[in-house]
Amino acid sequence: MRLFLHPPGPLSQIGRVLWCAAIAVFAAVLSLVWSSPARADDSEARKAESPYFHVNSSQPGTDRLPLKSTAVDVRIAGVIADVTVVQHYRNEGQRPIEARYVFPGSTQSAVYAMNVRLGDRLLTARIKEKQAARVEYEAAKKEGRTSALLEQHRPNVFEMNVANILPGDDVRVELHYTELLSPTDARYGFVFPTVVGPRYAGAPSAGGAMPAMPYLKEGEATPATFDIRVAIDSPVPVKEVTSSSHDVRVDDVGTPHVKVALAPAGNRPANNRDFLLDYRLAGDRIESGLMLFRGGDENYFLGLIEPPKAAPSRSINPRDYVFVVDISGSMHGYPLETAKVLLQNLIGSLRPSDTFNVLLFSGSNRMLAPESVPATRANIDRAMETIRAMGGNGSTEIVPALKRLAALPKAEGVSRSVIVVTDGYVNVESEVFQLVRQHLSHQNVFAFGIGSSVNRHLIEGLARAGMGEAFIVTKPAEAAAQAERLRKMIDSPVLTNVKLRFEGLDAYDVEPARQPDVLGGRPVVVFGKWKGDTTHAKLIVEGRSGDGPYRIEMATAGHEDNTSSALRLLWARQRIAALSDQEALEGGTTQKEAITALGLQHGLLTQYTSFIAVDKIVRNPNPALSPSVDQPSPLPEGVSNLAIGAEVPSTPEPAAWLALLVVVGVVGATLFTRRRA
């Protein structure tokens, strides 16, 4: 205290020497502290303290990319595909890890089995209620046992968790699913999605259980390999087997047994877009038919009936078209360019008696006009100008856009068709389906998915909720053809008031309960259960076509097939989809019990059931130290980095060096003027 009250005089010579010595001691102490063994290990050392910014660096000794390969084996018999996906994980790091990987599935897939192979041992997964499976997985993980958990986040998005993969471990996860191939225009299409596009979740209230997914940057290929092989077995010869997405090698075309494999594709990665395979059967007709399966407890059927050819409508109601176009960041580039081509084709072909409007949406939305305008040349030119000027940026707020659409006034007696164009990279499917079913189901809602790996769940669900049709355009060259297909459909429905019934057979639990209008080129598909004798029964389809009443009958005799056990799974999958739609409409988890029961009874993966496989042996003695690694997915081909970054606009300060230049300039100028003054 005295020191401050009575300041000491200048230091003496000895004082200065002591001061020097004291500083030297401080320096020595600090040096010792700095180089003490406590900081010798880099992993434990506090690097330069950075409380806010995360420095993105992988942990030493951890394998960030444990998925090494995906191999897909597809066997198509008739209209049913049975798919086996084998994912091969290997830990090439030095620590045990938990691998998390989000991957896509087909929208119609019924996932019915999973196996895990650990070296020579086989672990068979069981279906369990989702929470119970999660608890069992976490427990096994903590105990150090290798375990795998497969969960469904969306009907077409799955998450695989594999815990306690030891360094050098080879883990092979086999996944089995089946699906119905629904033909269009006498062509059969099989789709295997390879990547989940980045989803925009919207406001926090939008919810959704999509996991946070890491993505590789645009153009960055994943080192994981991808291979797919398809075998088609048909009663009639298979012809015209093509893939618009991949280079394929096709063997034995023109015979009933065709084999398809990926051709070497050079440097172009194969797993950043959907694998699409199209084929036609001899006769150029949809193989209309009825399949009946007699099971142990219950019997199942599948009806696939080709509709009549489109007939010219004699009297067409006044028609109104509203084009709802996504111009968000993920549409930037070729999806948006394709959308422009598509709209130009559609709008350009409207008749002057038609009316139309265009609603563009991203983070916000705007309309061409407050009300629909006649399709005059001037209005079409104006719409074209608007479309040409649009650029992809911002978020994907589809729900507000659809709400605005629901509020759009419509004249009495006008038939309105809504055409939604998007890549579907959103996370709000339930809200969208609910909105469409509540407000737009009296209009025909057509969904146009554009992109190399669109969210087919959203696109197909939109069309289903709006009683319309789904279209997927994966390449710009397909836009014109798909636009023409849509134009034909919306020109005049092929079959309306469709009703299916059995005579002589007791059919129940029929899916869908009500058939939508048939818009052309696509068969009527119905699943259900049956009781009774098939010898003298028949399936009757009735409806109204452009030429008047329509009726077709099909005898059930001879259609029983004991190899069609997949019908049981496909029926359950269809019922789960219907219950999920209902749940989306009602909100909450009103159908949880029914869906869980169906999943457990049929051994199917659903939003409420998961597959779990647990090893009996404890292999990792220290599971707490196993880091979790998220396998990054490649960006879908054609999707730019805009889709995963800067989606929500913000207002960052200017670059630091520019700002500093300005400040130094201001200070310098101040001092300079001061000196001159």
- Contacts with other proteins by CB under 8 A lie at 3-4, 7-11, 13-14, 16-17, 19-20, 22-24, 26-27, 29-31, 33-34, 46-53, 55, 203, 362-366, 391, 393-395, 397, 400, 648-656, 658-660, 662-667, 670-671, 674
Using a 10 angstrom Cβ sphere, with 0-12 exposed, 13-18 middle and 19 or more buried, the burial of residue 10 is exposed
Cβ at position 40, least distance to other proteins in Å? 16
Residue 31 or 563: which CB sits closer to other proteins?
Answer: 31
Please say which residue, 7 or 37, places its beta carbon nearer to other proteins.
Answer: 7
Q: In whole angstroms, how close is the CB of 122 to other proteins at the nearest point?
A: 47
Closest separation between CB of residue 176 and other proteins, Å?
42
In whole angstroms, how close is the CB of 277 to other proteins at the nearest point? 39
Asked whether the CA dihedral 131, 134, 138, 144 is positive or negative, the reply is: positive
Considering the complex, state which of residue 60 and residue 254 has its C-beta at the smaller distance from other proteins.
Answer: 60
Q: Are 125 and 185 a contacting pair, CB within 8 Å?
A: no
Nearest distance from C-beta of residue 119 to other proteins, angstroms? 41
In angstroms, give the least distance from the CB of 321 to other proteins.
23
Q: 392 or 424: whose CB is closer to other proteins?
A: 392
Residue whose CB is less far from other proteins, 198 or 363:
363
Which of residues 621 and 649 has its CB atom nearest to other proteins in the complex?
A: 649
Structure tokens at 633: 């997915």
Residue closer to other proteins, measured from CB, 314 or 675: 675
Helix (H, G, I), strand (E, B) or coil at 672: helix
The residue (of 55 and 513) whose beta carbon lies closer to other proteins is 55
**CB contact at 8 A, 393 and 642:** yes
Cα–Cα dist 506/291, whole Å: 15
Strand 97-104, strand 628-630: pairing: parallel
Cβ 661 to other proteins, closest distance in Å? 9
Dihedral sign (CA 59, 62, 66, 68): positive
- Closer to other proteins at the Cβ: 37 or 588? 37
Helix 592-602 with 566-586: angle, nearest 10 deg: 170
Asked if residue 273 lies in contact with residue 452, where contact means CB atoms within 8 angstroms, the answer is yes
Q: How far is the CB of 389 from other proteins (least distance, A)?
A: 10
Nearer to other proteins, 78 or 329 (CB): 329
Q: Is 78 exposed, middle or buried (0-12, 13-18, 19+ CB in 10 A)?
A: buried
Whichever of 413 and 652 has its CB closer to other proteins, that residue is 652
3-state class (DSSP) for residue 630 = strand
CA distance 664 to 458: 54
421: nearest Cα among 380, 390, 375, 377: 390
For the CB of residue 58, give the shortest distance to other proteins in the complex, in Å: 15
The phi and psi torsions of 50 (rounded to 5 degrees) equal: -135, 85
Separation CA 633–CA 333 (nearest Å): 20
Provide the minimum distance between the beta carbon of 419 and other proteins in the complex, in angstroms, as a whole number: 22
Question: What single letter denotes the amino acid at residue 578?
Answer: A
The CB-of-675 to other proteins minimum distance in angstroms stands at 9
Nearest distance, CB of residue 24 and other proteins, angstroms: 7
**Listed residue (459, 466, 464) closest to 445, CA to CA:** 466
* Least distance between other proteins and beta carbon 9 (Å): 6
365 within 8 A of 430, measured Cβ to Cβ? no
Helix, strand or coil, per DSSP, at residue 524: strand
The span from the CA of 485 to the CA of 119, in Å, is 50
Q: Which is nearer to other proteins, 24 or 618 (CB)?
A: 24
Quick count: other Cβ atoms within 10 Å of Cβ 48? 5
Give 135 or 666: the residue with its C-beta nearer to other proteins: 666
- Residues forming a β-bridge with 446: 419
- Tell which residue, 478, 421, 422, 423, has the closest CA to residue 454: 423
Least Å distance, CB 411 to other proteins, is 27
| Chain centroid offset of residue 664 CA | 51
Q: Which residues contact 480 (CB under 8 A, 6 or more apart)?
A: 341, 342, 345
Ramachandran region, residue 558 (left: φ > 0; alpha: ψ -120 to 50; beta: rest): left
Cα-Cα-Cα-Cα dihedral of 556, 557, 562, 565, to 10°?
Answer: 0
The Cα 81–Cα 182 span in angstroms is 11
Q: Please state, in angstroms and rounded to a whole number, the distance separating the CA atoms of residues 235 and 123.
A: 36
The CB density around residue 603, as the number of other CB atoms within 10 Å, is 18
> By C-beta, is 263 or 660 nearer to other proteins?
660
Nearer to other proteins, 265 or 664 (CB): 664
Q: Cα(402)–Cα(440) distance, rounded to whole angstroms? A: 9
Q: Where are the beta strands (DSSP E) in 388-537?
A: 415-422, 444-450, 470-473, 495-503, 506-511, 524-531
What is the spatial distance between Cα 393 and Cα 652, in angstroms, rounded to a whole number? 17
Query: Least distance in Å: CB of 210 to other proteins?
Result: 18
Compare residues 221 and 671 and give the one whose CB is closer to other proteins: 671
Q: Which two tokens stand for residue 526?
A: 């119905």
Beta carbon nearer to other proteins, 47 or 616: 47
Question: CA 175 to CA 100: how far, in whole Å?
Answer: 16
Q: How far is the CB of 525 from other proteins (least distance, A)?
A: 40
Rg of the chain taking only CA atoms, in angstroms:
31
> Please, what is the minimum distance in Å from the beta carbon of residue 8 to other proteins?
4
